[in-house]
Structure 1
Amino acid sequence: MVFYLKYHSHDIEKLHQLIGEFFNNVYKKNITVFDTSLLPTWYLTTPNRMVSMEGELTKFLNFPETVKNEIIEAFLVCEDVEALFSCEQATYVHQPVALDFRKLKDDGTVDNSIERYLISLFVDTLYEGQLGKKDSTFSKKIGSNIGSHYLGLKNESSFYDEDFNLCPFCGIEPLKLLESEGRPDYDHLLPKGDSLYIFSAINIKNLIPMGDHCNSKKSSKNLLFTDVNRTVKTIAFYPYSLSPNPFELYNIELSCTDTPKFSNSWKGNWNIDIKPNDPLDTITLAKISSWDRVFNIKARYCEYIQDHLKSIINKILKTIDSSINDLLNEVKTKLQYRLDNFYKYEYLFVSTEEGLIPTRNLILWFLSNDNFLMSYLEQKKKIQANDIDMSMLEL
């Protein structure tokens, strides 16, 4: 992860709290008839009713007492999302998922009715039907929606001069523009798909703005387990942490395995290694590993460098007289100026300057490789000379 976001408390948290209060009111009380008095006061005193949700909660009360208590206890265990990101295998307490509620019947077949119910309640009804819609009944009842939460999140950060408009997981792609491009790019840290972490589906502390490409890379990959069967627990960066930002905890080493040149279209081949600033910091090392495993960061940064290499130098050349005697030093001076003024390793720059981390490391490589710069500048001169010759022929 590149940078953290400041958590923003908001009324959309009320949906998760509503379920928590309902469960608290019926836990071990053998209540079998639904009544709105089992819900928070704000639900009763605001217009409209969430009919589908009430229907699902009515079904819940018809389950056997043991099943109801098992579901409630599972919900309570899953409340502290942040703690999951820092506990390792030895201290990990199993987080219940929908799959856990599949039961083997006496005839050898599988009863997945409770699993399907949980998906219907938490994912279909509460997340897709209410929290994820800007004009849902829930949004109307609280007078706000997830888009408002996103704006509040940005305002919370900008108050501390820590505004952001990039995906915090990669820093190389922008987040959607809310008004013109639609619903903000929120994704579940703990995946709700594949019958997994449905109990955290409407927990705002499990939702984070994420770019489209990171979202597609992550898909249903699990940040907290290295295997699909969820047997090997690991740790990961938690986006709402208060500790130093990730980019302050590691350094990126860029190496070139094939120098950019005319024959490879000036792309070259690159290798990136990401290491903790402290070689003994095994916690950050494990989090870096999870980050790269899920989001393919190293490979994406290398490709970003290949795609942007020429444009970085060409933009510099557009600002100077290419006929000057000491062109190499002039280019290096301009590169250093951009490094010092536009690609600072500070929050506001990292969170708003697209591609800052790979670009900064590429510029550092430029500055230490005069032979490459000379080769590129010579090739540019040849191209310019050919352009002049062709124009003379046309005359």
Structure 2
Amino acid sequence: MHFTYKYINHEIEKFQKYSDFIFLQVWCKARHPFNIAKFDQYPELQTIFNKLEQNPGEWAQFFVKAVKDIYGEFLKLGKAQKKELSRCYQINNNVARLCRNNTLVPINYTDLQKKHRKISTLLKTFYDRLYGSESPLILKEFGNLKDIRVLHYKAFIEKNFNGHEGVCPFCGLNPIKGNDHSKLEAYDHFIPKAQYPFNSINFKNLAPMCHECNSSYKLKINPVLNIDPLSKNATKRKAFYPYSQEEWKIKITVNLHNVDFKNLRKEEISIDASCAGRLEEIES
């Protein structure tokens, strides 16, 4: 990253709070058959869940069924297993620490599947859908994530670019749409939601990215993993955190290997990036 974004506190963070409560206070404390009293400590979410149970729509029933089905699987686990899953949840949602620490490894769906096959399948179905065009969080019972995201984007652009068109910090080249545009840039998951559970609705793991970076280059690339091109072995590495309060200076060097500029071919141009003390981050 060429520069960082300024994180903003916003109503949209409530969706991650809902996720935190459901995972840590409902599923990880599963005892006895499920009932609505499990939400007593979070009256707002309890009211929402009650309304969803009465909503016959597919999206509402998906959410209700997922919460109950996953709770049922957690009931089968021992105390130590629940404690371990709670730890994994908190690690996967501490995106800043995952970027700074090259020894802290988040759990992925592949590893989760080996330990808890049914739970892994249910969690992937649930978390994959929490953020997207068919998210149950778009329902009026939740306050409509889609509408709240528009408000978040406007506040975000105002904070980071004074409301105007900005520059994508990931490539440093392409524009980020300002508040005078009718469309929004897509929010990209820094830690890929397809590979890692728990953080698909965490806005510390979501950042606006230009269309070129999001659709052509980033895709499902994992910035916190280095994959050897020959052995395919993966090792944890550091990465620039999009909302870091640290500052760094990246040096870009362009080398032209032909003095005949009019006939210069792209293979005769090399671009190198460097940043003092940030080798792993640059490679990411």
TM-score by length of 1: 0.59
- Quick check: 1:127 aligned with 2:126? no
> Is the alpha carbon distance of 1:17 and 1:41 closer, same or farther for their aligned partners in structure 2, counting shifts above 3 Å?
same
Which residue of structure 2 lines up, in the alignment, with residue 77 of structure 1?
91
Q: Deviations over 1:232-252 (max 9, x none)?
A: 1111111101112x4xx1222
> In the alignment, is the contact (CA less than 8 A) between 2:104 and 2:236 conserved in 1?
no
> In the alignment, is the contact (CA less than 8 A) between 1:165 and 1:174 conserved in 2?
yes
> Is the alpha carbon distance of 1:114 and 1:22 closer, same or farther for their aligned partners in structure 2, counting shifts above 3 Å?
closer
> In the alignment, is the contact (CA less than 8 A) between 1:28 and 1:69 conserved in 2?
no
> In the alignment, is the contact (CA less than 8 A) between 2:174 and 2:210 conserved in 1?
yes
Give the match's secondary structure for 2:175.
coil
Which residue of structure 2 lines up, in the alignment, with residue 204 of structure 1?
203
Give the match's secondary structure for 1:24.
helix
Alignment of 1:238-249 (within 5 A): 238-244=241-247, 246=248, 249=249
Give the drift of 1:100.
1.7
Instruction: Give the aligned residue type for 1:227.
Output: I
> Is the alpha carbon distance of 1:139 and 1:147 closer, same or farther for their aligned partners in structure 2, counting shifts above 3 Å?
farther
Which residue of structure 2 lines up, in the alignment, with residue 288 of structure 1?
282
Which 5+ residue runs of structure 1 have no aligned equivalent?
105-110, 291-395
Which residue of structure 2 lines up, in the alignment, with residue 270 of structure 1?
269
Alignment of 1:156-195 (within 5 A): 156-158=159-161, 165-176=166-177, 182-193=183-194
Give the match's secondary structure for 1:145.
helix
Counterpart selection for 2:236 from 233, 237, 258: 233
> In the alignment, is the contact (CA less than 8 A) between 2:10 and 2:152 conserved in 1?
yes
Instruction: Give the aligned residue type for 1:102.
Output: Q
> In the alignment, is the contact (CA less than 8 A) between 2:164 and 2:180 conserved in 1?
no
Q: Deviations over 1:255-276 (max 9, x none)?
A: 21113544459x8932222223
Give the match's secondary structure for 1:32.
coil
Instruction: Give the aligned residue type for 1:169.
Output: F
- Counterpart Cα distance in 2 of 1:143 and 1:270: 43
Which residue of structure 2 lines up, in the alignment, with residue 322 of structure 1?
none
Instruction: Give the aligned residue type for 2:44.
Output: W
Counterpart selection for 1:140 from 139, 143, 153: 143
Which residue of structure 1 lines up, in the alignment, with residue 120 of structure 2?
115
Higher relative contact order (CA 8 A, sep 6+): 2
- Counterpart Cα distance in 2 of 1:263 and 1:230: 41
Which residue of structure 1 lines up, in the alignment, with residue 18 of structure 2?
18
Give the match's secondary structure for 2:166.
coil
- Counterpart Cα distance in 2 of 1:99 and 1:166: 36
Alignment of 1:202-351 (within 5 A): 202-215=201-214, 216-227=216-227, 231-244=234-247, 246=248, 249-264=249-264, 269-276=268-275, 281-282=276-277, 284-290=278-284
The structure that is helix-richer by fraction is: 1
- Counterpart Cα distance in 2 of 1:211 and 1:78: 25
Which residue of structure 2 lines up, in the alignment, with residue 360 of structure 1?
none
- Counterpart Cα distance in 2 of 1:207 and 1:81: 10
Give the drift of 1:28.
3.6
Give the drift of 1:167.
1.5
> In the alignment, is the contact (CA less than 8 A) between 1:30 and 1:65 conserved in 2?
no
> Is the alpha carbon distance of 1:72 and 1:51 closer, same or farther for their aligned partners in structure 2, counting shifts above 3 Å?
farther
Give the drift of 1:203.
0.9
- Counterpart Cα distance in 2 of 1:38 and 1:173: 45
4+ runs of 1 displaced by more than 6 Å? Answer: none
- Quick check: 1:57 aligned with 2:61? no
> Is the alpha carbon distance of 1:172 and 1:260 closer, same or farther for their aligned partners in structure 2, counting shifts above 3 Å?
farther
Larger radius of gyration: 1
CA RMSD of aligned residues (A): 3.1
Which residue of structure 1 lines up, in the alignment, with residue 7 of structure 2?
7
> In the alignment, is the contact (CA less than 8 A) between 1:184 and 1:209 conserved in 2?
yes
> In the alignment, is the contact (CA less than 8 A) between 2:92 and 2:197 conserved in 1?
no
Q: Deviations over 1:208-235 (max 9, x none)?
A: 1111221131211111111176631111
> Is the alpha carbon distance of 1:224 and 1:179 closer, same or farther for their aligned partners in structure 2, counting shifts above 3 Å?
same
> Is the alpha carbon distance of 1:176 and 1:136 closer, same or farther for their aligned partners in structure 2, counting shifts above 3 Å?
farther
- Counterpart Cα distance in 1 of 2:239 and 2:104: 16
Which residue of structure 2 lines up, in the alignment, with residue 340 of structure 1?
none
> Is the alpha carbon distance of 1:224 and 1:210 closer, same or farther for their aligned partners in structure 2, counting shifts above 3 Å?
same
- Counterpart Cα distance in 1 of 2:131 and 2:112: 20
- Counterpart Cα distance in 1 of 2:251 and 2:233: 30
